[in-house]
Every structure is written in C-alpha cells, then in structure tokens.
Amino acid sequence: MKRAIGFTIIFTLLLFIYQFVVVFLENGHEITYILETKNNKYEVKESYLKQKDIDGYFINIKNGDKQYNFFVKNQYNKQKKIIKEIKEYEKDGYFCIYPVPMKKDTNIDIVCSYKNKYYNAAYVKTKVNIDSFIKEYEDVNKYKIRTKSTNEVSDNFYESNIDNNEYVALYKYNSFIVYHNKNVKRVSMYFKDIYINNIGEYLDFYYLSPNSVTDQTEEYLLVNLKDATSRIIYLDRKFSPNSYNVGVVDHKLYVFDIDNKIEYEFDTYGNYSIVGDPKKGYRFYENNKWESVPVTKFTEEKAVFKKDIEVPFKYDEIYDANEFYYVIKDNKLYKVYKNDLEHEIYLYDIGNHFNVKVYKNNLYYIKDGYVYKYNKYGNRKIAYDNELKYNYNKIMYYVYIE
C-alpha cells in the first residue's frame, strides 16, 4: 500500500515536471475560441510565438467580414485564452474594439473600422472624440500632440515629446549634440568639419567612423552617444576613404575597404578584426546566413547585407518592426501585422519624408528640418536642425532607446 502511494506521488510529480518543461520550452501554439458581447459574437484566433525578436500573442478577432489585429506581449507564462472579453465603442460610423487581456496591459492598441477600412486610435481621435473609451484602458494624455520646444537648454529638442529612456542625437559635422532625460551634451570628434560622410554608421548607442573620409588613415573613431565620450581604435594598416559599410550583424559592423580589398569587423568594445582579404577570401550575410563570395561582390556590386521581405502587396517602402511592418504607399503610413498580411491599418499621411529609421516599434524620419517620431500615440516632433532641410544623409540624426 505504501509503495503504491509512493509511486503515485512520484508519478504525479514527474507529470507536473513534464508539463512544466513542455510549457517552458514551447515556442508557439494556436487556438481559436469564441467571445460574445451584448450585440456581437467574435471569433478569436490566438497565436503564441516565441522566436528571436518576438515573444507574445498575435490576436486576430473576426466579426462577420471584419478582422481586427493586435499583438500582446507575453506576461502570461504562455497560457492559452488570454483574452477574457471584448470591449466595443461606436461613434459617428467608427466602430472600435479593445481585447481585454487577463492582466492589465497599456501596450495593446485600440483598432477601429470605418467603411471597410481599419484605423488606430490616434487617427480616429483626430476625427471623433473617443477619449472616454481610450482612458478606460490607458493614459489618454499620451495621445496629446505638443508642438512647441520646451527645453530651456537647447531649442533643438522637443522635451515633452521625448521619453525618459530615449536618446536623440544630431550630427553637427565635427560633433554630436545628444539629448537625454532633460539634459543636452555635446561630444566633439573631428578637428575639422566633415560635411559628407558616407562611411559613418550607428551601432547600438555608438557611432563609428574613420577619422578621415578624404585621406587614408589608421584611426577609427568610436563615439559613445549615451556617455557623450569618444575614443580612437588604432588600425594596424591604412584604411582607404574608398570604402563603404556592408551592414550590421549581431551587434557588429562590417566595412569593406575597396582599394585595399579588406573586409573589417568592428564591435563597440573598441575591437576590430580582418574577416576578409585576398588570402582568406570573403564572406557575405544574406537572409540570415553567411556565405563565401568573390571579391567582386564588394568591388563591383558594392553589395550590402540585406534581408528580403516577401509580402503579397505592393509598397513604396517597408520597415520591419518585429511584430509588424511599417508600410509606406503614396506617402501614407500603414501598419500590417505579420500574422495577417491582407489587412492593413491606416496610421498617418506621412507626406514627403526622408531618412526613415525604425527602433523598438517607433518610426522616425526627417521632414522640413524636423525629426519626427511616430508610434501608437500619433506623430510628433522630437528635434529640429536647419541643416536637416538640406542634408538627408543617414548619419544626420540617431535615436536610441534603453
């Protein structure tokens, strides 16, 4: 009898451990369930996914011929049926829904439909007053657009539109000015102004560039934009200005010196190595894998690392924001979730723009001398520099979020 009880306890314990391990190691599940409101019946398709940059739930909610898409970050230990109810709001033809999760989450969008098209709450707010619906689930004040620079230290930055964990840097030809958390710092770099720099590149919260872009040099500059400090990486041979950035992989920058036929790898610790030359050959990163290539890949094609984005629709520009794509068509900005590439959500008429960057679901760009930030709360100015009216080079501004 005692042996049977002991066996049962051990078996139960092993079963519990097995179930825990299965859940812990699970990289995805997909289930469908029904949620009803007073007037509507919704089919909820919940797809959990854990991979390199995604850990959360794609939520597709269907009601008749309407399909609303959301993403919920994982704070539920990979549980299933994390949406407990659907909240609805209708005004002046706009029908909005919010999927209420098991735990409070202010990161989930409110999505609305109007005449068979989809919009986010920031856009709908400009057409009708939905504040009473928004404030049930998040801080409605975050949607307020502030148009004046309020920083007493520098007129370059729009303090009220920059988050406390956000660094904004402006390139000033021989230095950077960096705004963070109500402070502005300047970090000097070159002895003389460098107006055209096509080799400089950002890597995490660093900026890397040869110390001269007109003459051969043995010095590479490493600028820490968080601490507003800089240092020199000393090379063991001359680096030619006839070079270009090949791309960034796993927090390392790859640069090809065309004149000397050398492929460099730089990191943010001040280290560098030669990963390609005439003796050892060359390598190229494309679609998530390395491959050996001839030197003509760099010297003749000037190829750069890239990841093809295959989608079943036409676009002018497309940018990967982990769970979704930012898509620009005819100077209009849309969001398309990766679990449903057929239903786009209209965000904003972005107009004539330059130098787009995407970081942690925020989209940044230059327009009329301003650096703008777009996210779920709408479009707002974060910096201004008169030079941005004429110079759209990719190094002219940078944003980093901790």
Cα 65 to Cα 84: distance, rounded to the nearest angstrom: 22
Residue 19, pLDDT score: 43
Express each pLDDT in 33-79 by its tens digit.
999 999 999 999 999 999 878 999 999 999 999 999 999 999 998 89
Per-residue pLDDT of the chain (402 residues; tens, 9 = 90+): 555 555 555 544 544 443 444 444 456 799 999 999 999 999 999 999 998 789 999 999 999 999 999 999 999 988 999 999 999 999 999 999 999 999 999 999 999 999 999 999 999 999 999 999 999 999 999 998 776 665 555 789 998 899 999 999 999 999 999 999 989 999 988 767 888 889 999 999 999 999 999 999 999 999 999 999 999 999 999 999 999 999 999 999 999 999 999 999 999 999 999 999 999 999 999 988 999 999 999 999 999 998 889 999 999 999 999 999 999 999 999 999 999 999 999 999 999 999 999 999 999 999 999 999 999 999 999 999 999 999 999 999 999 999
Question: What's the length of the chain?
Answer: 402
Residue 155, pLDDT score: 80
What strands, in cross-sheet order, belong to the sheet with 166-171?
183-188, 175-180, 166-171, 397-401
Q: How far is CA 269 from CA 111, 212, 234, 250, 360, in A?
A: 43, 21, 13, 14, 23
Reduced 3-state DSSP string for the chain: CHHHHHHHHHHHHHHHHHHHHHHHHCCEEEEEEEEECCCCEEEEEEEEEECCCCEEEEEEEEECCEEEEEEEECCCCCCCCCEEEEEEEEECCEEEEEEEECCCCCCCCCEEEECCEEEEHHHHHCCCCCHHHHCCCCCHHHHCCCCCCCCCCCCCECHHHCCCCEEEEEECCCEEEEEECCEEEEEECCCCCCCCCCCCEEECCEEEEECCCCCCEEEEEEEECCCCEEEEEEEEEEECCCEEEEEEECCEEEEEECCCCEEEEECCCCCEEEEEECCCEEEEEECCEEEEECCHHHHCCCCCCECCCCCCCCCCEEEECCCEEEEEECCEEEEEECCCCCCCEEEEECCCCEEEEEECCEEEEEECCEEEEEECCEEEEEEECHHHHCCCCHHHEEEEEC
